[in-house]
């Protein structure tokens, strides 16, 4: 399946133009038979069985990312449909094409009169499709079948697809259609239902490395395996992209292709240095992480690419932790395989997941920042600090210790920047061997549990007013509880340890139990919450709305405000903001003239050019 086509027959030559000069590798090594296709075994098997059984459909649609071989596969299909030897020994379609047939060269060069290739991006209108419908009725000139290849078929308009449907469903016996697209979702279902669909998969990096090695050998080019692995990884499963990058690497290196040449060409960071940076982050060593990032940046690495590499290595460690066999991938460098196993054994899934999320979100910040290196440094700072924070299970252990449970060593949260050498961390990484132990290490900070034991117990919290309870809910960042206290509860009586309330009709059924439980947690002692039959005071929200309405009425009665409203017809008072002095007078009940900083916000007046 991975044979390289012999360039001698010239299946990829520009024979139409007579050009015998240099040809790029993507054209020179373009597959000419099904056996030459790499990474598409499922599709080749299906087509082979269909040809052998004589069950050839009237239309195919090929989909996949750029460069996986959609157009090439379409030409190979056209060649197989019309394969014919000069001696007439082949009388029907076949996938076995050991030698060039009568029509092969013209088909592979896109110049056969009966194999019509159209770019649907530029021929997507209903008139173009009508021309196909008119021409398809006529028999082929010399070949067995008239084959229509429409590339990027998703660009055809809705009217064009509608014009094609009848012909596509019932074409003449001598006509076949082959569609190719990268956007299969944009193709109408009515078209898909009339075609046999093949999804061309991305080629595995391991298969691409082997493909590039064979091409480099035929070209007489010496290349490091790691360099070819970097090219295969950058191609992301696209054979054409990998060959284009190999062409570029040959010109860049002007000799033997090394991994360093490919890194400089692609703006990549050294994989070993990326792993070193990952290790510094997991240790919480911010100084080392920033120094390494700056060194890679000075060497020409793009900050966004560095973060992308970090995210890829984090993903690799996570995969190795779940499936250890992933570390055997040939496209990985030796340093990645060895150290990924060590990190996978020592880091928890929570830490890896947290690092991935922060890198993923930080990458967008770096790409949008005016100074990417500064944004990248801030992302690393956040990750390094987060690496030293306890995981949820460790935080629960700390809380258990504070409540008198068995004292066990638990990492304290990182509350300050590391000074000088490596930061205090939960991990100690030993490099240089195949095994890396990541164990808790001693720090200079006092454990939280011991500190809590040494401190005297805090006095119980005393609440004197109902407003103090609302303020406590806001301080604890319990927004649902604060909203319920303001909206769903009418105060009847309040004293420390006892709350008597009336409920609004829309109040949750569990509100009383929730308030009792929260008060017990926040104050450290039980509270009695009673629902009274008395109506109680209006809710805090109703009181605030009434006060706001009263203020607006007072402002509207002000002579100066009335003059402004009269001068600008259509203006409205949209907000009244009370200043600090007003708040004091409101509390004391005094009524004075509004202070200079009292502000009233008006709505937009009518468009006028008058000066006031």
What are the tens digits of pLDDT across the range 208-223? 888 999 999 988 889 8
328: pLDDT confidence band, cut at 50, 70 and 90?
A: confident
* Cβ neighbours, 10 Å, residue 285: 24
Residue 181's φ and ψ, nearest 5 degrees, are -155, 150
Asked if 250 and 389 sit in the same domain, the reply is no
| Mean pLDDT, the chain, integer | 77
Q: Which of 221, 217, 216, 178 is nearest to 200 (CA)?
A: 178
Tokens of 520: 């017990």
Average pLDDT of span 465-485: 84
Q: Which of 56, 62, 81, 59 is nearest to 140 (CA)?
A: 81
Asked if 453 and 310 sit in the same domain, the reply is yes
608: pLDDT confidence band, cut at 50, 70 and 90?
A: very low
479 located within any domain: yes
* Cβ neighbours, 10 Å, residue 91: 9
What was the pLDDT predicted at 395? 64
Average pLDDT of span 103-131: 88
Q: To which residue do tokens 């709305």 refer?
A: 545
Encode 377-394 in three state secondary structure.
Answer: HHHHHHHHHHHCCCCHHH
Domain end position, chosen among 156, 174, 199: 199
- The residue with greater pLDDT, 176 or 230, is 176
* CA separation for the pair 237, 295 (Å, rounded): 31
Lowest mean pLDDT among 198-202, 529-533, 583-587: 583-587
Assign residue 348 the CATH number of its domain.
1.20.272.10
DSSP character string of 449-475: HHHHHHSPPPPPP---SHHHHHHHHHH
Cβ 91 vs Cβ 109: under 8 Å: no
Report the DSSP beta bridge partners of residue 118: 150
| Cβ within 8 Å of residue 35, ≥6 positions away | 1, 3
Asked if 409 and 438 sit in the same domain, the reply is yes
Asked if 438 and 314 sit in the same domain, the reply is yes
Average pLDDT of span 474-478: 81
Q: To which residue do tokens 């924070």 refer?
A: 389
H or E element at residue 279: helix 271-283
251 located within any domain: yes
* Cβ neighbours, 10 Å, residue 41: 11
Q: To which residue do tokens 């044979």 refer?
A: 3
Cβ 311 vs Cβ 356: under 8 Å: yes
Asked if 83 and 100 sit in the same domain, the reply is yes
18 located within any domain: no
Domain containing 498: what range? 466-537
Asked if 159 and 226 sit in the same domain, the reply is no
Give tens-digit pLDDT for 62-113.
998 888 889 999 999 999 999 988 887 777 888 888 888 889 889 988 889 9
* Cβ neighbours, 10 Å, residue 375: 20
Beta strand pairing call for 498-503 and 528-531: parallel
Assign residue 72 the CATH number of its domain.
3.40.50.300
419: pLDDT confidence band, cut at 50, 70 and 90?
A: very low
| 3-state DSSP helix/strand/coil % of the chain, to nearest 5 | 50, 10, 40
305: pLDDT confidence band, cut at 50, 70 and 90?
A: confident
Question: CA 349, 355, 359: angle at the middle one, nearest 5?
Answer: 145
Q: Is the pLDDT of residue 425 over 80?
A: no
Q: Is the pLDDT of residue 246 over 60?
A: yes
Four-point Cα dihedral 208, 209, 211, 213, nearest 10: 160
Q: Is the pLDDT of residue 162 over 70?
A: yes
Asked if 377 and 510 sit in the same domain, the reply is no
| Cβ within 8 Å of residue 34, ≥6 positions away | 44, 47, 48, 76, 80, 95
Domain end position, chosen among 430, 457, 484: 457
Asked if 194 and 221 sit in the same domain, the reply is no
16 located within any domain: no
- The residue with greater pLDDT, 564 or 170, is 170
2 located within any domain: no
Asked if 262 and 277 sit in the same domain, the reply is no
Give tens-digit pLDDT for 497-552.
888 888 888 888 788 888 888 888 888 878 888 888 888 888 888 888 888 888 87
Cβ 461 vs Cβ 492: under 8 Å: no
Q: Is the pLDDT of residue 577 over 80?
A: no
Domains held by the chain: number: 5
Q: DSSP state, 198?
A: E
Q: Is the pLDDT of residue 149 over 90?
A: yes
Residue 89's φ and ψ, nearest 5 degrees, are -75, -20
Domain end position, chosen among 149, 175, 199: 199
Q: Is the pLDDT of residue 186 over 80?
A: yes
Question: Could you give the maximum distance between any two Cα atoms of the chain, in Å?
Answer: 114
Asked if 280 and 340 sit in the same domain, the reply is yes
377 located within any domain: yes
121 located within any domain: yes
| pTM > 0.75 | no
23 located within any domain: no
Q: Is the pLDDT of residue 422 over 70?
A: no
Cβ 415 vs Cβ 390: under 8 Å: no
Q: Which of 81, 205, 208, 231 is nearest to 147 (CA)?
A: 81
Assign residue 255 the CATH number of its domain.
1.10.8.60
Asked if 386 and 419 sit in the same domain, the reply is yes
Asked if 45 and 161 sit in the same domain, the reply is yes
235: pLDDT confidence band, cut at 50, 70 and 90?
A: confident
Tokens of 405: 């449970």
Assign residue 497 the CATH number of its domain.
3.30.300
Q: Is the pLDDT of residue 391 over 90?
A: no
Burial of residue 357 (CB within 10 Å: 0-12, 13-18, 19+) is middle
């Amino acid at each position: 399946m991975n044979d390289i086509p012999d360039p001698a027959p010239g299946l990829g030559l520009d024979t139409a133009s007579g050009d015998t000069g240099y040809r790029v590798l993507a054209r020179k090594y373009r597959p000419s038979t099904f056996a030459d296709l790499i990474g598409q075994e499922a599709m080749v098997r299906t087509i082979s069985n269909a040809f052998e059984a004589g069950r050839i459909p009237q239309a195919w649609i090929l989909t996949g990312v750029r460069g996986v071989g959609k157009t090439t596969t379409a030409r190979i299909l056209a060649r197989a449909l019309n394969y014919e030897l000069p001696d007439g020994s082949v009388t029907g379609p076949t996938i076995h094409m050991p030698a060039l047939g009568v029509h092969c060269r013209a088909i592979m060069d896109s110049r056969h009169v009966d194999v019509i290739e159209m770019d649907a991006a530029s021929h997507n209108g209903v008139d173009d499709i009508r021309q196909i419908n008119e021409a398809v009725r006529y028999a082929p000139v010399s070949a067995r079948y008239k084959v229509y290849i429409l590339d990027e078929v998703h660009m055809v308009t809705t009217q064009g697809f509608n014009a094609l449907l009848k012909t596509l469903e019932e074409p003449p016996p001598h006509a076949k259609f082959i569609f190719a697209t990268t956007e299969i979702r944009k193709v109408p279902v009515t078209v898909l239902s009339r075609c046999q669909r093949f999804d061309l998969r991305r080629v595995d990096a391991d298969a691409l490395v082997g493909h590039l090695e064979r091409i480099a050998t035929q070209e007489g080019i010496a290349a490091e395996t790691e360099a070819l692995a970097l090219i295969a990884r950058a191609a992301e499963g696209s054979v054409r992209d990998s060959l284009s990058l190999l062409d570029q690497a040959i010109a860049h290196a002007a000799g033997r292709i090394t991994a360093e040449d490919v890194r400089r060409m692609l703006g990549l960071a050294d994989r070993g240095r990326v792993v070193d940076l990952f290790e510094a982050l997991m240790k919480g060593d911010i100084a080392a992480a920033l120094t390494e990032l700056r060194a890679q940046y000075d060497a020409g690495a793009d900050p966004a690419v560095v973060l992308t590499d970090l995210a890829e290595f984090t993903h690799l460690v996570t995969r190795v932790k779940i499936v250890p066999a992933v570390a055997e991938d040939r496209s990985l460098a030796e340093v990645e395989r060895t150290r990924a196993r060590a990190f996978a054994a020592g880091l928890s899934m929570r830490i890896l997941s947290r690092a991935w999320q922060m890198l993923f979100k930080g990458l967008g910040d770096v790409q949008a920042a005016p100074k990417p290196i500064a944004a990248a440094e801030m992302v690393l700072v956040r990750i390094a600090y987060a690496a030293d924070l306890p995981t949820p299970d460790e935080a629960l252990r700390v809380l258990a210790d504070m409540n008198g449970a068995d004292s066990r060593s638990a990492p304290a949260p990182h509350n300050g920047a590391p000074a000088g050498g490596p930061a205090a961390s939960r991990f100690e990484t030993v490099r240089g061997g195949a095994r890396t132990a990541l164990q808790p290490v001693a720090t200079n900070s006092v454990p939280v549990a011991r500190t809590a034991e040494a401190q005297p117990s805090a006095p119980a919290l005393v609440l004197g007013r109902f407003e103090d309870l609302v303020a406590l809910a806001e301080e604890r960042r319990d927004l649902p509880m604060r909203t319920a206290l303001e909206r769903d509860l009418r105060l009847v009586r309040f004293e420390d340890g006892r709350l008597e309330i009336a409920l609004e009709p829309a109040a949750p059924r569990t509100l009383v139990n929730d308030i009792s439980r929260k008060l017990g947690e926040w104050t450290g002692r039980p509270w009695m919450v009673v629902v009274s039959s008395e109506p109680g005071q209006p809710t805090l929200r109703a009181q605030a709305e009434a006060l706001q309405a009263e203020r607006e009425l007072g402002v509207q009665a002000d002579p100066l405000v009335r003059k402004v409203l009269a001068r600008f017809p259509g203006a409205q008072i949209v907000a009244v903001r009370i200043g600090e002095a007003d708040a004091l007078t409101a509390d004391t009940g005094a009524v004075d003239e509004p202070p200079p900083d009292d502000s009233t916000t008006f709505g937009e007046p009518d468009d006028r050019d008058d000066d006031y």
